[in-house]
């Protein structure tokens, strides 16, 4: 019997690269034809002498009936040969699907991949050639799309140097110190860190030709889906703005009645540090940020922090509300969080 997939493999159909090439019903029909033909081929190998040939057991009609399987076998063999020819393109496009963020484009890829069995079963060379062209165009389209996003979200080596300068800057050091304070909301700073960490330098080896050899080049578009583009200059401005807001928050914190009440418990050095900071004689720096943070944290002893989470806020405001309804819903949410606690000692902050 010609070399092809085995009869056992055909029993439940044949699937390659996630695409059904031969259905279970087709496979059953093939087995009905192929099994007798296979046995016939096995028996032929026994007729090795003239004497044995004289005792040949098959009639001409039987042989003709058995040979009806031959064109079917050739058809399946041809399909499998063509599957092998398409395997590289299909495998490539299967990989592409996991990185594509455009829903319509992803559907185009899926539809093209799923057409493989239909195209092969047609046996028409014109359709097969057109299908090859279609797959090639989809690969080209993906490479263009991927490269465009790659360059959009990657930075130059010069910008990467500036990024390192920013990560080593005094503003960054101060923020890293202050983020440990209970009374500051660090969500915005964490978002800033995530954005900056995603600013990776572009590899000058990555071009369209390289993408056509492998759809993934150390860059996953899914990680950037829906994100606004940023750059090192903008990141620096955002960090400075964040630090200014935190500095003002620290000063506002010192106006809290409970905090003011506790200031007399600080040692003279801490009191002087906070007075100079509050009056504007000194600004936050890497030399004084830890002292200011710890002094204010000690003033907060005895107060209870309650964090509001974005997830719970979404659950509270899960439908359109009038302003009065929104205020009422927020009050219920806060009252629930505050239940069983001394309200005068509660301080609420957004995570």
> Does residue 318 share a domain with residue 268?
no
135 within a domain of the structure (yes/no): no
Average pLDDT over residues 292-320: 74
pLDDT tens for 125-162 read 899 899 999 999 999 999 999 999 999 999 999 999 99
99 within a domain of the structure (yes/no): yes
> Does residue 328 share a domain with residue 245?
no
Question: pLDDT higher for 324 or 208?
Answer: 208
Of 176-190, 199-213, 255-269, 298-312, where does mean pLDDT reach its minimum?
Answer: 298-312
> Does residue 119 share a domain with residue 15?
yes
Q: What is the pLDDT of residue 178?
A: 95
> Does residue 196 share a domain with residue 296?
yes
pLDDT tens for 92-121 read 999 999 999 999 999 999 999 989 878 877
Of 123, 152, 187, the position where a domain reaches its end is 123
144 within a domain of the structure (yes/no): no
201 within a domain of the structure (yes/no): yes
Looking at residue 306, the DSSP 8-state letter turns out to be: E
| Candidate ranges 50-54, 67-71, 142-146, 278-282; pick with highest mean pLDDT | 142-146
Of 158-167, 218-227, 339-348, where does mean pLDDT reach its minimum?
Answer: 339-348
What lies within 8 Å, CB to CB, of 44 at 6+ separation is: none
The answer to whether 46 and 52 are in contact (CB under 8 A) is: yes
> Does residue 294 share a domain with residue 348?
no
Instruction: Kindly tell me the burial class for residue 183, based on how many C-beta atoms sit within 10 Å of its own C-beta (0-12, 13-18, 19 or more).
Output: buried
The torsion angles phi and psi of 68, rounded to 5 degrees, stand at: -65, -20
**Which percentage of the chain shows pLDDT scores above 90?**
45
End-to-end Cα distance, the chain: 70
Please give the Cα distance from 223 to 23 (Å, whole number).
Answer: 37
> Does residue 75 share a domain with residue 63?
yes
CA atoms within 13 A on the CB side of 136: 7
Place of tokens 């500051």: 184
Of 4-8, 40-44, 303-307, where does mean pLDDT reach its minimum?
Answer: 4-8
- Cα 17 to chain center, whole Å? 22
> Does residue 333 share a domain with residue 281?
no
* Residues across the chain: 351
> Does residue 290 share a domain with residue 313?
no
**If you average pLDDT over every residue of the chain, what do you get?**
81
> Does residue 98 share a domain with residue 174?
no
Domain limits for position 86: 7-123
Of 69, 94, 123, the position where a domain reaches its end is 123
H or E segment to which residue 347 belongs = strand 346-350
Q: How many domains, in total, are found in the chain?
A: 3
Q: What is the pLDDT of residue 273?
A: 94
The torsion angles phi and psi of 141, rounded to 5 degrees, stand at: -65, -40
> CA 338, 343, 348: angle at the middle one, nearest 5?
65
> Between β-strands 346-350 and 304-308, what pairing exists: parallel, antiparallel or unpaired?
parallel
Question: pLDDT higher for 136 or 67?
Answer: 136
> Does residue 96 share a domain with residue 30?
yes
Q: What is the pLDDT of residue 43?
A: 65
Structure tokens of 208? 């369209």
Average pLDDT over residues 338-350: 62
pLDDT tens for 192-211 read 999 999 999 999 999 999 99
The answer to whether 22 and 30 are in contact (CB under 8 A) is: yes
> Does residue 204 share a domain with residue 117?
no
Q: What is the pLDDT of residue 26?
A: 66
319 within a domain of the structure (yes/no): yes
158 within a domain of the structure (yes/no): no
Structure tokens of 109? 């890829």
Q: What is the pLDDT of residue 2?
A: 39
């Amino acid at each position: 019997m010609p070399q092809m997939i085995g009869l056992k493999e055909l029993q439940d159909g044949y699937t390659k690269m996630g695409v059904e090439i031969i259905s279970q019903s087709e496979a059953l029909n093939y087995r009905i034809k192929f099994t007798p033909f296979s046995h016939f081929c096995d028996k032929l190998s026994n007729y090795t002498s003239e004497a044995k040939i004289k005792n040949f057991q098959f009639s001409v009609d039987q042989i003709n009936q058995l040979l009806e399987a031959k064109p079917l076998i050739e058809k399946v063999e041809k399909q499998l040969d063509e599957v092998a020819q398409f395997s590289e393109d299909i495998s490539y496009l299967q990989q592409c699907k996991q990185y594509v963020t455009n829903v319509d484009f992803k559907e185009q890829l899926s539809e093209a991949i799923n057409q493989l069995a239909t195209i092969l079963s047609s046996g028409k060379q014109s359709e097969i050639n057109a299908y090859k062209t279609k797959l090639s165009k989809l690969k080209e389209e993906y490479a263009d799309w991927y490269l465009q996003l790659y360059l959009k979200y990657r930075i130059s080596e010069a910008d990467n140097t500036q990024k390192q300068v920013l990560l080593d800057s005094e503003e960054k050091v101060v923020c890293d110190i202050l983020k440990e304070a209970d009374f500051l909301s660090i969500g915005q700073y964490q978002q800033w860190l995530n954005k900056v960490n995603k600013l990776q330098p572009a590899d000058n080896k990555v071009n369209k030709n390289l993408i056509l050899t492998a759809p993934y080049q150390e860059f996953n578009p899914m990680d950037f889906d829906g994100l606004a583009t940023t750059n090192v200059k903008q990141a620096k401005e955002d960090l400075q703005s964040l630090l200014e807001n935190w500095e003002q928050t620290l000063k506002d914190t010192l106006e809290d009645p409970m905090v003011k009440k506790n200031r007399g418990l600080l040692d003279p050095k801490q009191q002087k540090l906070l007075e100079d900071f509050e009056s504007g004689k000194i600004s936050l720096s890497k030399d004084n940020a830890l002292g200011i943070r710890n002094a204010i944290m000690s003033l907060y002893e005895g107060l209870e922090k309650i964090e509001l989470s974005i997830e719970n806020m979404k659950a509270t405001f899960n439908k359109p509300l009038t302003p009065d309804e929104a205020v009422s819903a927020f009050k219920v949410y806060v009252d629930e969080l505050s239940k069983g606690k001394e309200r005068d000692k509660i301080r609420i902050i957004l995570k």
